[in-house]
Amino acid sequence: MKILNLVGGCSTDGASLGAINMHNYLLSVGCDSEIYFQDQRNFKVNQVRNSINKISKFSRLKRRVYNFLDSLILKVYVSRRRYIFSPGIIGYKFNDIDFEKYDLLVIHWPGNGFLDLKKLEKLNIKIFWVARDYWITTAGCHIPYDCNEYINNCQNCIYLKKNKGKSVLSSFLKTRKDNIISKLNMSVLLISEGMLEKFQSFNSKHQGVVSTMGNFLELRYSEEIFNNIEEFKSAFREKHNLDKKPICLVMNNSGEVWKNFCFIEDNLSSLNRKFNIISFGRGKSYENVLNIGFLEDRKELIKIFLIAHTFIFSSTLEPFGKVIFEAGFLGCNVFMPEMPWNEHLKGKYSWVNIHKKSKIINQINNSSSTQLKIPSPTEVTADLKNYNENVYKNFRLAISKL
């Protein structure tokens, strides 16, 4: 079976990295997999095996143009919430791809003008949609929060506020999307069991199967990363003038309100009493926090995980990201929202209700005295192997149902 992974968004974003992990794993088990990126910004395409992209200096410009055109209609809704919303009407033509030579098309994160669903109707090919958010179930929002309007055809969209909440556009987009998808030979793969609830109504409307796969993780955890990790820890502390308090790592998404980073902001002073706080990501800088920014070199991030004592994941809407698994496998004490779909992770992580702020902060601070062992590369490799094998098993099972 010849497989094409079609990847939207920036090539260094979480969805793209998840797609790369999936692609690399498929190659490792002998599958004939290829991958195509919408945007090669900050990324060398030739670093990924079997990438069919033609390296272009204009990929970022093209992405911005399509993003602008696809979102242009939203300008009418001046009072809309400024959350991510992709109409999905205008998108790439993909004239440089010969889809007929593939047996299976796997789509990853199609927002921001990447994909017009109408184009899929013309493809005589089996399709897997890897749902890394909820866009396929809604009119256009990617993270619906507690909104269940998708059940009612998105007639009262809380994002596109107009005429007392009613939006003709959202209803049109939802109807259009449902009509197109109902005709496709397509199944949906979820990266978390917790997403199943919001896909129940979707499952009743479409002929394709909705199943949980999981999220493939990075394979490249070489022994050299683990070598001299204690020396790296000492040098890192000296370089950044850190005291002997344990390191607390946070994912800095201060510019994205749905990441709930305000929880970290509100409790920095309390956490600072027990921890050296390090933030990574594209968010803003904070006083008394070591901000290391976005790390393109995955080996550097792995080393930071290895020397960290605690990792706090603040988003209450996305407790299925691969960064949670990575932190746990690499020995961090992980604090994250208590969600029903995290049950299979128990024993590897700490459990908190992130909405009870005083309770969680006390729990995190009290954990600072716990001595943690840095795992060996053998232990990490075994954990990753077992985890990825289980995800691949779910993938093969989904294929058998196509």
More confident residue, 196 or 288: 288
pLDDT above 70 as % of the chain: 82
Residue 289 has pLDDT above 70, yes or no: yes
The reported pTM is: 0.85
Residue 317 has pLDDT above 80, yes or no: no
- Supply the mean pLDDT for the chain: 81
Q: What is the pLDDT of residue 246?
A: 95
Question: Predicted confidence band at 359 (pLDDT cuts at 50, 70, 90)?
Answer: low
Residue 355 has pLDDT above 70, yes or no: no
| 209 within a domain of the structure (yes/no) | no
Among the residue ranges 108-112, 173-177, 320-324, 337-341, the one predicted with the least confidence is: 337-341
Domain shared by 239 and 377, yes or no: yes
Question: Predicted confidence band at 183 (pLDDT cuts at 50, 70, 90)?
Answer: confident
Domain shared by 239 and 156, yes or no: no
Domain shared by 19 and 167, yes or no: yes
Residue 161 has pLDDT above 80, yes or no: no
Of 184, 211, 245, which marks where a domain is finished?
184
Residue 285 has pLDDT above 90, yes or no: no
| 191 within a domain of the structure (yes/no) | no
Of 153, 184, 215, which marks where a domain is finished?
184
| 199 within a domain of the structure (yes/no) | no
Q: What is the pLDDT of residue 33?
A: 96
pLDDT above 90 as % of the chain: 21
Q: What CATH code is carried by the domain that includes residue 361?
A: 3.40.50.2000
Domain shared by 6 and 140, yes or no: yes
Question: Predicted confidence band at 356 (pLDDT cuts at 50, 70, 90)?
Answer: low
Question: Predicted confidence band at 340 (pLDDT cuts at 50, 70, 90)?
Answer: very low
Domain shared by 75 and 170, yes or no: yes
| 207 within a domain of the structure (yes/no) | no
**Angle at which helices 322-329 and 377-400 cross, to 10°:** 150
Domain shared by 62 and 137, yes or no: yes
| 193 within a domain of the structure (yes/no) | no
Q: What is the 3-state secondary structure (H, E, C) of 93-147?
A: CCCCCCHHHCCEEEEECCCCCCCCCHHHHCCCCEEEEEECCCHHHCCCECCCCCC
Domain shared by 175 and 305, yes or no: no
Q: What is the pLDDT of residue 162?
A: 57
Q: What is the pLDDT of residue 258?
A: 67
Question: Predicted confidence band at 31 (pLDDT cuts at 50, 70, 90)?
Answer: very high
How many domains is the chain built from?
A: 2
Of 184, 212, 239, which marks where a domain is finished?
184
| 205 within a domain of the structure (yes/no) | no
| 43 within a domain of the structure (yes/no) | yes
Domain shared by 101 and 49, yes or no: yes
Domain shared by 256 and 115, yes or no: no
Question: Predicted confidence band at 222 (pLDDT cuts at 50, 70, 90)?
Answer: low
Question: Predicted confidence band at 293 (pLDDT cuts at 50, 70, 90)?
Answer: confident
Count how many Cα atoms sit within 13 Å of the Cα of residue 320 in the half-sphere of its side chain.
Answer: 22
Residue 143 has pLDDT above 70, yes or no: yes
| 129 within a domain of the structure (yes/no) | yes
Q: Which domain holds residue 70?
A: 2-184
Question: Predicted confidence band at 23 (pLDDT cuts at 50, 70, 90)?
Answer: very high
Domain shared by 165 and 275, yes or no: no
Domain shared by 368 and 235, yes or no: yes
Domain shared by 133 and 21, yes or no: yes
Q: What is the pLDDT of residue 329?
A: 81
Question: Predicted confidence band at 341 (pLDDT cuts at 50, 70, 90)?
Answer: very low
More confident residue, 383 or 29: 29
